[in-house]
Structure 1
């Protein structure tokens, strides 16, 4: 037999022995695997999350140049939002990312990025400006995590029916309304059957960021974050005050009209809204302890 032919046959046998057979491939590492332990599955899942975050970041306050447009400044700001949300999703796999979190993050980053102090001001130049941007991003991430920690249970479906879940919080809101205006409560809950989950779910989980313009959000958050009784207490008071401020329209409306009104909340005097929230009666708190 030709020596070259023998040599080729031996080389072929050696190569065949090095090929990984199908049964030797770990199912968990297969690109098409849906197993939670699969690195490929995790990769594609993270890619989907990143894509969703990117879509939401692009839609963040399109009417404000700070977040929108193609200027280097706005592109840099959107990149910071994206980085923070991606890191939060990575560190909190049980919650991951929920649509609307970008709206909660936006006011936080806006404040830090526009901090006029010498250390954080965004009006600096060159390397100093880059350093300040980095500080704003880091500080925003820290505060975003702290803020979300107060309402993180509202995003866990497994806790929906628990005492700390979103349904329990909605019940507290209705109890607050019933205590302060039984007639309006009866009209919404009994007569028209406008379930609070239809409108207040978004109010509470996204901290009212989609109900008011950006300047109003900043003023409302000033009261939320400075309240000595905690964010959730003041948030429920403001939500209840929102119902009371449109009481006449709600009492005159049917199910469809009321739902449309509450899902597209009208412009109101923010200072009056906060004052109404402060003066509400809550059996568990004292109005004199509140500040607006």
Structure 2
């Protein structure tokens, strides 16, 4: 522990020496593991004197990502000013086509992160640092939580009839009603506590990070299992004993 503390307090951190120390594991005492991971993952620079300016730049960059990928589409989805580009438009360049495709990815991310590390209640708790850029939006703004709810209500499951070969559609409400009649069925509606407006659970923060990542990396997008990778990283950063670091991690793009 002493070797870690001496190295991490240096003005210029020796990356090779840090890797050698961390090879057999990092102690969690005094936030050593959190700080070591941040350096090894290029979250922090090796020069300690540049940490403040670097983090400020990265936080502003993340705010820009949020405005571009979440806030602007959320405001546009509730706007009636654009008559040409509408949800039923079949134009190949329609922004609504991309919007609906993104919803499919968002639903998969939501399904995965809700069950992230089920042995820990941490991810179901609300964070003390909700995203102000999203929470301070005007009434009618469609955040990811509302977007998921509205998408889930509109999604219909389709099955092919063996007799006619036609597609038969059945709404989720009917499916849910049928499942409720089963004694072994547990409703998803009661599985997780719904937080009040203005609050965010930790899994929602992870969801936002993964969604922003999928939009910025459209070629790779989201792959199932990414939530299991970012989960331990986020948990380690978000439980840093240093309160200042905990506040910064909620406002910085960590993917």
TM, length-normalised to structure 1: 0.31
Of structures 1 and 2, the one scoring higher in RCO (CA 8 A, sep 6+) is: 2
**Structure having the larger proportion of residues in helix:** 1
Larger-Rg structure: 1
